[in-house]
Structure 1
Amino acid sequence: MMREFEIERQFNIKIESIKANKGVYYLNTNKGERCLKKINYGPQKLLFVCGAKEHLIKNGFDKVDRYFLNIDGYPYALVNEDLYTLSMWLKGRECDFHKIDEVKLAANTLAKLHIASKGYDPPENSKLKSDLGRWPGLMKKRLKALDKMKEMARKKNNKSDFDLLYIKSVEFYKELAKEASKVLMTSDYERLCEIAEKEKILCHHDFTYHNIIIDDNDEVNIIDFDYCKREIRAFDISNFMIKVLKRVDWDIQFAKEIIDSYNEVSPLEDSEYKVLLAYLQFPQRYWRLANRYYYNEVTWGANTFAKKIQGIIDEQEKYLNFLKEFKSLYNLD
């Protein structure tokens, strides 16, 4: 546990009570309710994230978990070589991805965030995070990784349920990855990256239900910018769509409403739909799950892994049907 008096001293507050809450700490202080969070990256990246939030606020997008500065003007407290940030405790409910109205509200807000992010120059001493231009290479690398993990599974003497399911299903996902890679290579991806570089656009990169907080007035707050970076907006949109669609049986209506709500604020170019399709087709969830399993990235039990991969496999028919409908709806055949 962090030394509370150090937090108090560096942020010039008095903590009246403290409670762990979903990976952060809820603090009741003499200056109001606060959110304390331990950061697992260095000060340079944190300055990039802090600068991003300040840039959004300056451009009129103030519904973010803004950092409080410490007594020396930095957005963190340093305690036993650990970094902690302090922000306002934002009250509200997490966005419900099963409710179309809340999903539309979130898509609308994402477009506003992207507009406000334009022109972000990171502060000095910060580390610029960017994924611009990386995706063709990443797709090829992850396609190779699917093969490598297949070999790892095959060489095991005592194969787990996960290994057996992976061996049986991997070819299907390799084909999807190849197709996604081909679609991206024949799209306007590079030109869109050049535009994003020139316009200095930011993506949230983790735009999901627990980072979208809706208050009692239906105002949307966006929190946890830890993964934000320079990126084309199609990445954020597709990532958000996948997180919603997997919960609603790949219902094309939800996809259409997300895009329509985004377009109300900031219309997508025709060429962006092909890039969206490439991201939607790439089996990112399947690759990430296998990667976590074969490289021990998380400590879930064997049953959890088997259940998760089975869940992804069970979606195949609905997922393929969705891709077909998406291509037809946006004339991508």
Structure 2
Amino acid sequence: MMREFEIERQFNIKIESIRPNKGVYYLKTDKGERCLKKINYGIQKLLFVYGAKEHLISNGFPHVDRYFLNIEEEPFAVVNEDLYTLSEWINGRECDFHKQEDVALAAEKLAYMHLASKGYEPPENSKLKSDLERWPHLMEKRVKSMDKMRDMGRKKGNKSSFDLNYIKSIQFYKDLGKRAMKVLADSNYMDICKLTEAEKSFCHHDYTYHNIIIAENTVNVIDFDYCKREVRAYDIANFMIKVLKRVDWNMDYAKIIIDNYNKVDPLREEEYRVIFAFLLFPQRFWRLSNRYYYNEVSWGQNTFGSKLEDLIKEKENYLNFIEGFKSCYNQRE
């Protein structure tokens, strides 16, 4: 149980009311509305995230959920060996990925965030998080793990609808994974990583609707828990997938994202190839299967089964999109 008086003492606030809200706590305090969040990783990683937000703010990108410091000038409280952060409560609405104007605003904001991220030197006592140069290895490892999970499904005496659908559809997704690996190998990915390393920029790594809060004319970006050194092509492709899966892989939305990103900071020709590799890779299929076979989340059988069915139903629209992307952005395989 969280001891509220410890939060009050360490952050020098008085809590007037507290209520849970989507994995965090909404606090009404004597100093205004606050967001209290329990952190499930260590202090070194938290200091990397704290430093990243401070860097964005000092580089002219203030619309983030900035951490408040405790009485020791640290961005956290320790209560019963648990870590908590306190930030301003950002009022507004979540970005609507069905609305083209929202998607356009979010794409622009992502470009501004990437620009402001350049030159980030993490604090000395923090842990540098980086995925630079790792994607060829990660893709290969994840494609291989699909076979292991298929064997786990085959060995089950009482197979669920998820197991049966997984076994039936694995080849399609493995083939996609291999196509993605080939495209990445045929790109300037390693050179782009070196440039990113030299620029000292970072990515949000979870740029999705509930982390993009729109209030009047301001777009706020929150929840930097997964941010790390990474090529910007990853954030762009990941954002595209999160939007496109909700709009039946409509190519118009992909163009809106790329056009509005390019208005702020144009992509280089070789970056389209890396984006294409990420769009091809069956990350969602791998992640869902991983969660199922390794019990990573406590969803019911029906939830897993329906999520996989929804993913399989997208295949035709997705493949049409991939062909459209190739033709629009001059990609080959």
Question: TM (normalized to structure 2)?
Answer: 0.99
Offset of residue 155 of structure 1 = 1.2
| d(CA) in 2 for partners of 1:47, 1:330 | 39
Quote the offset at 1:253 in angstroms: 0.3
Q: In the alignment, which residue of structure 2 is the partner of 1:226?
A: 225
- 2:121 maps to 121
Structure 2 CA distance, aligned partners of 1:6 and 1:21? Answer: 20
1:191 and 2:191 aligned: yes
Amino acid at match of 1:222: V
Report what 2:153 is aligned to: 153
Paired residue type of 1:159: K
Does 1:213 pair with 2:206?
Answer: no
Question: 1:107 is matched with which residue?
Answer: 107
Query: 2:251 maps to what in 1?
Result: 252
- Give, as a single letter, the amino acid of the residue that structure 2 aligns with 1:112: Y
Deviation at 1:156, TM superposition (A): 1.1
- C-alpha displacement at 1:157, in angstroms? 1.1
What TM-score, normalized to structure 1? 0.99
Match of 1:175 in 2: 175
* TM-superposition CA deviations, 1:6-35 (whole Å, max 9, x none): 000000000000010000000000000000
1:202-224 superposed Cα distances (whole Å, 9 cap, x missing partner): 10000000000000x22100000
Aligned match of 2:133: 133
Give the alignment of 1:24-173 within 5 angstroms.
Answer: 24-173=24-173
Tell me what 2:3 maps to.
3
**1:242 lines up with 2:241 in the alignment:** yes
Give the Cα–Cα distance (whole angstroms) in 2 for the partners of residues 218 and 131 of structure 1. 33
Superposed CA offset, 1:123-168 (max 9, x none): 0110000000000000000010011111111111111110000000
1: CA distance between counterparts of 2:275 and 2:133? 15
Match of 1:269 in 2: 268
Stretches of structure 2 lacking an aligned partner (at least 5 in a row): none
CA–CA distance in structure 2, aligned partners of residues 262 and 233 of structure 1: 11
Deviations 1:112-131 (A, max 9, x none): 00000000000011000000
What's the counterpart of residue 277 of structure 2? 278
Once the two structures are overlaid, the 10-residue window that deviates more, 143-152 or 106-115, is: 143-152
Q: What is the total number of aligned residue pairs between the two structures?
A: 332
* Aligned equivalents of 1:169, 1:141: Cα separation in 2: 19
The 5 Å alignment of 1:322-333 reads 322-333=321-332
**Aligned partners of 2:257, 2:52: CA distance in 1, in Å?**
24
Structure 1: where are the runs of 5+ without partners?
A: none
Q: CA RMSD in A?
A: 0.5
Which secondary structure does the structure 2 equivalent of 1:225 belong to?
Answer: coil
Where in structure 1 do 4 or more consecutive aligned residues deviate above 2 Å? none
Matched residues in 2 for 1:165 and 1:302: separation?
13
Deviations 1:228-265 (A, max 9, x none): 00000000000000000000000000000000000000
Aligned partner of 1:314 in structure 2 is 313
